[in-house]
Amino acid sequence: MASMTIQNLSPNILQMEYAIQGPVVARAGEIEEELKKGVKKPFKNVIRANIGDAQAMGQPPITFIRQMIACIAYPKLIEEGNFPEDVRKRAKEFLQGCSGGTIGSYSIPHGLGHIRRRVAEYIELRDGVPADWKNVYLSAGATVAIQYCLQLFSDRSNGRKNGILTPVPTYPFYSACYSIFGINLVGYYLDEDSNWDTKIEELERSLVEAQNTCNVRALLVINPGNPTGQVLSRKNIEEIIKFAYKHNLFIIADEVSQDNVYSGGKRFYSFRKVMIELGAPYSSIELVSFTSVSKGYMGESGLRGGWLELNNIQPDVQAQLFKYISAMGTPNVIGQAVIDCVVKPPSPGEPSYDLWLREKTAVLESLNARARLVSESLNAIEGYKCNVVQGALYAFPRINLPPKAVAAAEEANQLPDVFYAYRLLEETGICVVPGSGFGQVPGTYHYRTTILPEYDQLRTILETIRTFHQRFIAQYT
Amino acid sequence: MASMTIQNLSPNILQMEYAIQGPVVARAGEIEEELKKGVKKPFKNVIRANIGDAQAMGQPPITFIRQMIACIAYPKLIEEGNFPEDVRKRAKEFLQGCSGGTIGSYSIPHGLGHIRRRVAEYIELRDGVPADWKNVYLSAGATVAIQYCLQLFSDRSNGRKNGILTPVPTYPFYSACYSIFGINLVGYYLDEDSNWDTKIEELERSLVEAQNTCNVRALLVINPGNPTGQVLSRKNIEEIIKFAYKHNLFIIADEVSQDNVYSGGKRFYSFRKVMIELGAPYSSIELVSFTSVSKGYMGESGLRGGWLELNNIQPDVQAQLFKYISAMGTPNVIGQAVIDCVVKPPSPGEPSYDLWLREKTAVLESLNARARLVSESLNAIEGYKCNVVQGALYAFPRINLPPKAVAAAEEANQLPDVFYAYRLLEETGICVVPGSGFGQVPGTYHYRTTILPEYDQLRTILETIRTFHQRFIAQYT
């Protein structure tokens, strides 16, 4: 008999689900293998529109960042002098802040002090209000920082579980973490009809309903939205903050896509800025916010850099969190070098400035155009409704599925949106994530797609989706 | 009132302790700040002998690894042709295995397929028995892989906790994880008098005593030992495996320092090799083993690369573990490039081979000399007993503390070994970790020091420790 069986492993792992790497995506991997083996398909490649992985889809890296990494990895390149002077200077500075002057030594568990200071300066500049570097923790991507933070709400004691108010649809990494840590997901629906706004009545409804079953301790916001692509207005943020204050909720702000804002009138406001500018009593709300170098214009997903910043956390609680973080291993040093480049990019007049600006602008303008293309093209399909992609890297269109299609899905023992996503994958090679993995109003069907394929490819993809959908509808009407 | 207080945060975080980043080490950081501010001390620098951080202490990186990283970060370097041909070829191969041909894309959550295959080939070559790449998971350092694995034993369900037989002294990362995951530490004392051997009677004693309070499900071994510096003999490994089989225990083998074996007759045997060579029924024991690029001859601690390899895990359990891993974020890509270099170093005849061999040999010979120097010098101090450092990067000497010193510690409200470590730090600047953080037989006192300072500095440090100890003893006798 085995020692570890499906019956006696941690039930929290057993019940955890994660749609982004779920069965549809696993099938995409199988199809890729089949294509390699020469199996005939109605398409040549799988298009992985399931994950916000910019460089995998062809987005070029920022030269300044990559030259910096080359220099710190192999410091002879600093001496040899083939790279721009500002890159070499920055690389030298970076190494001076590492133990032993090398990226081969462990980072301080909370991140290198000189980079934490620069992140605080960046936050200060972004928000126009001071930031303390001791409240910044650098992590190997936002995912790690989010896990550490959520763990604070873990229910290992007896009694009722903690609950976190969580937008629905939501990024399923949160629901996965809640399962692992024993936290209740207290869902509040985003209002699809007003381009995914957060309605305070809905927050109130959800909170009241949940209070019988768990201790609602915190409120999660994802801005810009994942999977919705929505950017919260300043007014909406103010309302949410006032709601959190009224109910003594800790705010967890996922702001990883803060550099990705496309839509005309929209602008990114950090929860921190709005909260502090609202003044007392709101400015004392407990807040943690997350950022990442995986998104933005840099898209350095593979290098794993991110941070959290804490506001108004009780000092003894913060000490506990930092103690915990320091035990769980140290973040990789190169991810911190990427953070360094992002929070303190080349300044006007420095040798790398022009190229950096050109590259950054090209990426953001192109994402802007693609965001528009995606929502306009999907909206033009009969039976589709797609809100404007205001920010982030995703669209979350709603699809009308005829009753016959719903029945066919039931017969196949699949949810209707899963059935649709499988069919799309098998017939076109386009891999998206079914809406049920994110949560959706019952009876509605969606999927998440990224806006990341390059413009011309994206046009083809959207046209393929249109003809697929027409075929699908014809079959089930 | 704050939403998150010391009373309502996760009790598992609250009770967690981690000596490697504990109060003595925190004090070392403060002293460094004081020194910077010009505060007068009887020493010029703090010497961080508390952490196994080779490059921080001056160990040079392996050129082949660093050239490879520079090339994959900035692929123009591949074309420019200033680096050796084999480096450029390997960098190209590596990039071909990344999505979009770039390190900026997300890794597959379990690690890049081509590197997992190479790790399996490496394990096969090391053990002389086949390995399956699908049982290998690449992680951002061994710490991450260890956390994921221990989580399987987490006690979120009701009823009794799970327990893991754990060597004492132990690497406190394990005790920290057990606290977080709600696992009981079932300690078995290593036998200091036989150079830290594992005695089966002691395993039996510990198991029997624990069975009343928890479900003992697994057995942890750390080989080479941390903090003991011991290398298990093949005979001892065989005995441990037979014990595990008898009691249906899952074996967790921390083998991160497998390249660090110094002592004459000693050799590293993986648990996997011995288990398979023992044949049925032992060859079917469930085993997970961990490796890291932070130790060995490469010492790339800051780049975060490691892996776990599974043997005989139930397929449905393995699927659960891999599902869980795939939800928790992806490992950094550069750490995987380091793994690539370590598992497939340059071959004889390739342009980088000679330099690689020279650098590797120099590091290992120097560590060998330092291991000998540390144990011999500490043993020569009256009142010290230090076992031979056979492997890994640590010594764990035992110190006789006179009753007056124990009384003084009590007065200072400190454990005697903590009191001793503080005094050593304040008077000499040498930072070690008190034995109580690792666990020790009651009434005995130890500390862990690394063997990593460069040879001449190490000689000075050891002499400083000798004179400090004489002063300390004189004061308390």
Structure tokens, B149: 């694995």
Closest approach of A339 to chain B, Cα-based (Å): 14
Is the confidence at residue B92, as pLDDT, over 70?
Answer: yes
Is the confidence at residue B103, as pLDDT, over 70?
Answer: yes
Provide, as residue numbers in chain A, all residues whose Cβ is less than 8 Å from the Cβ of B103.
Answer: 302-303
Q: What is the pLDDT of residues B172-197, one digit of tens each?
A: 999 999 999 999 999 999 999 999 99
Q: What is the mean pLDDT of residues B212-217?
A: 93
What whole-number distance in Å separates Cα of residue A331 and Cα of residue A325?
10
CB contact under 8 A, A304 and B330: yes
Cβ-based neighbours of A265, under 8 Å, separated by 6 or more? none
Q: What is the pLDDT of residues A376-393, one digit of tens each?
A: 999 999 999 999 999 999
- Predicted pLDDT of residue B441: 97
What whole-number distance in Å separates Cα of residue A178 and Cα of residue A172?
10
Provide, as residue numbers in chain A, all residues whose Cβ is less than 8 Å from the Cβ of B105.
Answer: 53, 55-56, 301-302
Cβ-based neighbours of A333, under 8 Å, separated by 6 or more? A98, A103, A105, A107, A112, B302, B303
What whole-number distance in Å separates Cα of residue A433 and Cα of residue A20?
6
What whole-number distance in Å separates Cα of residue A390 and Cα of residue B7?
41
Q: What is the mean pLDDT of residues B294-314?
A: 97
Is the confidence at residue A156, as pLDDT, over 80?
Answer: no
- Predicted pLDDT of residue B436: 96
- Predicted pLDDT of residue A159: 76
Provide, as residue numbers in chain A, all residues whose Cβ is less than 8 Å from the Cβ of B53.
Answer: 99-100, 105-106
- The sign of the CA dihedral A235, A238, A243, A249 is positive
Is the confidence at residue B116, as pLDDT, over 70?
Answer: yes
CB contact under 8 A, B173 and A327: yes
Is the confidence at residue A443, as pLDDT, over 70?
Answer: yes
Angle formed by the axes of helices A455-475 and A353-379, nearest 10°: 20
Residue B398 DSSP one-character state: E
The per-residue DSSP string of B60-105 comes to: PPPHHHHHHHHHHHSTHHHHH--S-HHHHHHHHHHHHTSGGGSTTS
Question: Which of A5, A12, A13 to substitute to test the interface with B, most B CBs within 10 Å?
Answer: A13
Minimum-distance CB partner of B302 among A4, A103, A303: A103
Residue B152 one-letter amino acid? L
Name the strand (E) or helix (H) holding A367. Answer: helix A353-379
- Tokens 């520079």 correspond to what residue? B70
- The sign of the CA dihedral B37, B41, B46, B50 is negative
- B361 close to B296: Cβ distance less than 8 angstroms: no
- A15 close to A181: Cβ distance less than 8 angstroms: no
- B284 close to A3: Cβ distance less than 8 angstroms: no
Residue B415 DSSP one-character state: -
What whole-number distance in Å separates Cα of residue A132 and Cα of residue B212?
50
Q: What is the pLDDT of residues A29-68, one digit of tens each?
A: 999 999 999 999 999 999 999 999 999 999 999 999 999 9
Nearest Cα residue in chain A from B317: A6
Provide, as residue numbers in chain B, all residues whose Cβ is less than 8 Å from the Cβ of A158.
Answer: none
**H-assigned helices in B82-171:** 85-96, 113-127, 142-151
Parallel/antiparallel/unpaired status of strands A215-222 and B447-450: unpaired
CB contact under 8 A, A299 and B16: no
Question: Which of A33, A62, A74 to substitute to test the interface with B, most B CBs within 10 Å?
Answer: A74
Nearest Cα residue in chain A from B218: A3
Closest approach of B380 to chain A, Cα-based (Å): 30
Closest approach of A58 to chain B, Cα-based (Å): 6
What whole-number distance in Å separates Cα of residue B29 and Cα of residue B23?
10
Closest approach of A366 to chain B, Cα-based (Å): 18
- Tokens 């020091």 correspond to what residue? B449
What are the two backbone dihedrals, phi and then psi, of residue A302, each rounded to the nearest 5 degrees?
-75, -15
Q: What is the mean pLDDT of residues A397-420?
A: 97
Residue B292 one-letter amino acid? S
- Predicted pLDDT of residue A247: 97
CB contact under 8 A, A314 and B2: yes
Residue A403's region, left for phi above 0, alpha for psi from -120 to 50, else beta, is: alpha
Beta bridge partner(s), residue B395: B449
How large is the ipTM? 0.96
- Residue A171 to residues A180, A222, B141: CA-CA distances in angstroms? 15, 8, 26
Closest approach of A295 to chain B, Cα-based (Å): 11
Q: What is the mean pLDDT of residues A407-429?
A: 97
- Of B472, B332, B346, the C-alpha closest to B416 is B472
Parallel/antiparallel/unpaired status of strands A433-434 and A447-450: antiparallel
Is the confidence at residue B264, as pLDDT, over 90?
Answer: no
- A260 close to A207: Cβ distance less than 8 angstroms: no
Average pLDDT value over all residues in chain B: 96
- Predicted pLDDT of residue B157: 54
Maximum Cα interatomic distance, chain A, rounded to a whole number of Å:
70
- Predicted pLDDT of residue B158: 57
Provide, as residue numbers in chain B, all residues whose Cβ is less than 8 Å from the Cβ of A3.
Answer: 217-218, 248-250, 286
What whole-number distance in Å separates Cα of residue B137 and Cα of residue B290?
10
**Edge-first strand listing for the sheet containing B433-434:** B394-395, B447-450, B433-434
- A5-10: which pairs have CB atoms within 8 A and are 24 or more residues apart? A5/B314, A5/B316, A5/B317, A6/B314, A6/B316, A6/B317, A6/B320, A8/B217, A9/B152, A9/B153, A9/B317, A9/B320, A10/B151, A10/B152, A10/B153, A10/B154, A10/B155, A10/B156, A10/B157
- B203 close to B168: Cβ distance less than 8 angstroms: no
Residues, chain B = 477
What whole-number distance in Å separates Cα of residue A167 and Cα of residue A240?
12
Question: Which of B297, B332, B359 to substitute to test the interface with A, most A CBs within 10 Å?
Answer: B332
Is the confidence at residue A320, as pLDDT, over 80?
Answer: yes
CB contact under 8 A, B70 and A67: no
Closest approach of A472 to chain B, Cα-based (Å): 31
What whole-number distance in Å separates Cα of residue A126 and Cα of residue A136?
15
Parallel/antiparallel/unpaired status of strands B215-222 and B250-254: parallel
- Residue B116 to residues A22, A121, B121, B205: CA-CA distances in angstroms? 21, 40, 9, 39
- Of A37, A434, A104, the C-alpha closest to B65 is A104
- Predicted pLDDT of residue B39: 96
Nearest Cα residue in chain B from A9: B152
Strand, helix or coil for residue B459: helix
Parallel/antiparallel/unpaired status of strands B215-222 and A215-222: unpaired
- Of B399, B15, B59, B25, the C-alpha closest to B175 is B15
Name the strand (E) or helix (H) holding A469. Answer: helix A455-475
- Predicted pLDDT of residue B263: 76
Pick the range with the lowest mean pLDDT from A8-22, A280-294, B217-231, B376-390: A8-22
Minimum-distance CB partner of B303 among A182, A329, A334: A334
Residue % of chain B over a pLDDT of 90: 94
Cβ-based neighbours of A371, under 8 Å, separated by 6 or more? A229, A262, A263, A389, A390, A391, A395, A451
Is the confidence at residue B155, as pLDDT, over 80?
Answer: no
Q: What is the mean pLDDT of residues B77-81?
A: 93
Question: Which of B9, B99, B157 to substitute to test the interface with A, most A CBs within 10 Å?
Answer: B9
Closest approach of B15 to chain A, Cα-based (Å): 9
Is the confidence at residue B156, as pLDDT, over 80?
Answer: no
CB contact under 8 A, B334 and A332: yes
Closest approach of A477 to chain B, Cα-based (Å): 37
Question: Which of A14, A105, A184 to substitute to test the interface with B, most B CBs within 10 Å?
Answer: A105
CB contact under 8 A, A151 and B304: no
Residue A449 one-letter amino acid? T
- Tokens 């085995």 correspond to what residue? A2
CB contact under 8 A, B333 and A303: yes
- Of B393, B410, B392, the C-alpha closest to B401 is B410
Q: What is the mean pLDDT of residues A176-196?
A: 96
- Predicted pLDDT of residue A1: 78
Query: What confidence tier does B383 reach under pLDDT thresholds 50, 70, 90?
Result: very high
What whole-number distance in Å separates Cα of residue A326 and Cα of residue B25?
12
Minimum-distance CB partner of B53 among A105, A302, A317: A105
What whole-number distance in Å separates Cα of residue B55 and Cα of residue A240?
48
CB contact under 8 A, B99 and A331: no
- Predicted pLDDT of residue B404: 97
- Of B112, B103, B102, B54, the C-alpha closest to B343 is B112
The Cα angle at residue B105 between residues B64 and B255, in degrees rounded to 5: 50
Residue B122 one-letter amino acid? Y
What whole-number distance in Å separates Cα of residue A431 and Cα of residue A409?
18
Structure tokens, B62: 């392996």
What distance, in Å, lies between the first and last C-alpha atoms of chain A?
53
Upper half-sphere CA count for residue B88 (Cβ side, 13 Å): 12
Closest approach of B470 to chain A, Cα-based (Å): 31
Closest approach of B419 to chain A, Cα-based (Å): 21
Residue of higher predicted confidence among B452 and A265: B452
Distance of CA A208 to the CA centre of its chain: 28
Parallel/antiparallel/unpaired status of strands B384-385 and A136-139: unpaired
CB contact under 8 A, A156 and B301: no
Residue of higher predicted confidence among A444 and A264: A444
Q: What is the pLDDT of residues B250-263, one digit of tens each?
A: 999 999 999 999 97
CB contact under 8 A, A70 and B70: yes
Closest approach of A115 to chain B, Cα-based (Å): 15
What whole-number distance in Å separates Cα of residue B385 and Cα of residue B399?
7
- Of B322, B12, B10, B314, the C-alpha closest to B145 is B322
Upper half-sphere CA count for residue B401 (Cβ side, 13 Å): 24
- Structural domains in chain A plus CATH codes: 16-46+359-476 (3.90.1150.10), 95-343 (3.40.640.10)
Minimum-distance CB partner of A141 among B100, B324, B329: B329
- B75 close to B91: Cβ distance less than 8 angstroms: yes
Provide, as residue numbers in chain B, all residues whose Cβ is less than 8 Å from the Cβ of A67.
Answer: 74
CB contact under 8 A, A8 and B249: no
Nearest Cα residue in chain B from A69: B73
Query: What confidence tier does A263 reach under pLDDT thresholds 50, 70, 90?
Result: confident
CB contact under 8 A, B329 and A143: yes
Cβ-based neighbours of B194, under 8 Å, separated by 6 or more? none
What whole-number distance in Å separates Cα of residue A396 and Cα of residue A398?
7
